[in-house]
Amino acid sequence: MNSFEKLKEKFNTGLHICVGLDTDVQKIPTFLRDTKNALAEFNKKIIEATKDLAAAYKINFAFYEKEGLKGIEALEKTLSFIPADVLTIADAKRGDIGNTAEMYAKSVFDNYLFDSVTVNPYMGTDSIQPFINYKDKLIFFLALTSNPSSKDFQKQKLLNGSFLYKEVIYKVHEWNTNNNCGIVFGATNESELSDSLNVIKALPVLVPGIGAQGGEIEKVAKLFISSGSSYFLFNVSRGIIYKSGKKDFAEKAKEELEVYNSKIKDVLSN
């Protein structure tokens, strides 16, 4: 199924939370750390507990690459646990010249079979073309990220009166002829989001920065809804998957996801 359509079906049932699988061997419950395939085992339990309540799963490549071959195996196994109707996002933030970008696109879409990927737009149109050529996939471009240093470059004011991150959003619309583009916009940048909603329009938005990073989910959800858009996907990683360090970690993750879902539900019903 087309990836954006898959995500919209979740939005239609009120699900707007992406569970971020930033799975770190140092942070998973101690009783699991020494088991074989600890990362995959942890993810399996988390996915089993949350799969009916999650709009998407985002796999943060760094955490798997750090473990070398073992990590890549865990990544592949993890993908096999995710039901076909839930969007999978390769959070890889790739970006390179055309022939190299093509290899990265092949890696995430043809090799791993992800539905979606995060891409860094810094190198411009020809660097992102190989990704958007995959018409049925969904590509989230970094516009304004959730970290404090997003001010260094992304918030630079341009001579033409715009900001760099807005220039990215304009370009994303140009790139969106196949209706397979979205953006990343950090929840920590509330006022910028408020200013940008008329530019973002109907693009799907992956929103990191909730929870550990300080973004407020209700406020940000209200912003989207008041602008008439329901294509927002909040990512929560540490706030869900590490809710408990004990045997009940998966159960607690599910409970926390339910808390987030009900917060969204409250906003949607008001």
103 binding its own copies? (CB under 8 A)? yes
Which string of DSSP letters, residue by residue, matches 213-262? G-B-HHHHHHHHHHTT---EEEEESHHHHTS-SSTTHHHHHHHHHHHHHH
Measured N-to-C along each axis, helices 125-132 and 164-175 cross at an angle, to the nearest 10 degrees, of 40
The partner residues of 18 in beta bridges, in order of sequence, read: 56, 235
Single out the segment in contact with its own copies by CB under 8 A; choices: 32-40, 139-147, 190-198, 220-228.
139-147
- Verify whether residue 243 is a known catalytic residue: no
CA angle 61, 59, 192 (to 5 degrees): 95
97 binding its own copies? (CB under 8 A)? yes
Single out the segment in contact with its own copies by CB under 8 A; choices: 131-139, 167-175, 225-233, 255-263.
167-175
124 binding its own copies? (CB under 8 A)? yes
Query: Is residue 85 within 8 Å of 53, Cβ to Cβ?
Result: no
Q: What letter would DSSP give residue 109?
A: I
214 binding its own copies? (CB under 8 A)? no
Q: Which of 8, 27, 51, 93 is catalytic?
A: 93
25 binding its own copies? (CB under 8 A)? no
- Of 86, 75, 94, 69, the C-alpha closest to 8 is 86
Single out the segment in contact with its own copies by CB under 8 A; choices: 94-102, 191-199, 215-223, 246-254.
94-102
Single out the segment in contact with its own copies by CB under 8 A; choices: 80-88, 101-109, 190-198, 253-261.
101-109
Secondary structure element (H or E) that encloses residue 70, with its range: helix 69-81
> Which two structure tokens, joined as six digits, stand for 217?
């989910």
Cβ 191 to its own copies shortest distance, Å? 18
Cβ 216 to its own copies shortest distance, Å? 18
154 binding its own copies? (CB under 8 A)? yes
Q: Is the Cβ of residue 62 or residue 268 nearer to its own copies in the bound state?
A: 62
With contacts defined by CB under 8 A, how many residues of the chain interact with its own copies?
A: 58
Q: Is the Cβ of residue 46 or residue 92 nearer to its own copies in the bound state?
A: 92
Query: Is residue 223 within 8 Å of 194, Cβ to Cβ?
Result: yes
36 binding its own copies? (CB under 8 A)? no
Cβ 28 to its own copies shortest distance, Å? 14
Q: Using the rule CB under 8 A, which residue among 9, 11, 24, 133 binds its own copies?
A: 24
Measured N-to-C along each axis, helices 217-226 and 190-200 cross at an angle, to the nearest 10 degrees, of 30
Query: Is residue 23 within 8 Å of 43, Cβ to Cβ?
Result: yes
66 binding its own copies? (CB under 8 A)? yes
Give dist(CA 162, CA 174) in Å, integer.
17
177 binding its own copies? (CB under 8 A)? no
Long-range interactions of 65-68: CB distance < 8 A, separation 24+: 67/25, 67/39
Query: Which residues are tagged catalytic?
Result: 93
Catalog residues that contact its own copies under the rule CB under 8 A.
22, 24, 60, 62-63, 65-69, 72-73, 76, 93-101, 103-104, 106-107, 111-112, 120-127, 142, 145-154, 156-160, 164, 167-168, 171, 208, 213
